[in-house]
Amino acid sequence: VTRREDGTLVVVSQGVGRFDVKGVVETLPYDVVEAEWALDADETAEDAEAWRDFEFGPAGVMLTPSKASVAELSPLRPEKAPESAAPATGVDVLERRVWAALDADSALLNRALIAEGASAEEATVRPPAGLRALRPPEVDADDFVPAAAAEWPVARRASRLSFAASGALGLMEPSNGRQTLLDASSSGERLELVLAALAARAEKLRVIVAEKEAGGGGGG
């Protein structure tokens, strides 16, 4: 939490994981609860704790009195990277599929803007900067954000992506799938849910783009 020079109070909420609420400490002047990290089925407490000094900031949501926008990636700290790391267990394939779906999502949004009359230069929709910084180093993209540090193991990076993508893109509202995402006990399960949500959005976007490119879009 920080206060800007103009007096605006800014709260940054990071999409980093799940918590189990153990009890309510107080409710006034605001809610305070006792909570513990909820680990995935394939995660150990020791390994997770060891990596938190390294992963202290990626991919969150910045809240202001007037809008919500995705926060910039806080710097990872390679010198804090421990030697221990959970195995990838095939999640690297899902991670690449999510990035392919994210790039396709941006391409559809760009086509929609161009169909409405925007120039190619103006139609430059990309995933938010805080999310793009979770892109694997081996995935090339002209998105002007450095890829995630090579010291970050696939399993840890994919775990952060599995939490951050939904919140950053508004894929799952509290009344429509968010609890299912939080109940998932592995990065793989969450990434599958993100892929399903992106596929559903892509289906709707294709219809919108087809209508606009056929001349059925625009104002009205």
72 pLDDT more than 70: no
Beta bridge partners of 63: 11, 68
* Least confident residue range of 23-27, 40-44, 72-76: 72-76
Predicted local confidence at residue 67, as pLDDT: 45
pLDDT single digits (tens) 143-189: 555 567 777 888 888 888 898 888 777 777 766 778 888 899 999 99
Q: Is the pLDDT of residue 219 over 50?
A: no
206: pLDDT strictly greater than 90: yes
Instruction: Sheet with 9-14: list strands edge to edge.
Output: 2-3, 9-14, 60-63, 68-70
Does pLDDT of 11 surpass 70?
Answer: no
Q: What is the chain's mean pLDDT, rounded? A: 77
Distance CA 140, CA 122 (A): 22
Report yes or no: 41 and 185 within 8 Å, Cβ to Cβ. Answer: yes
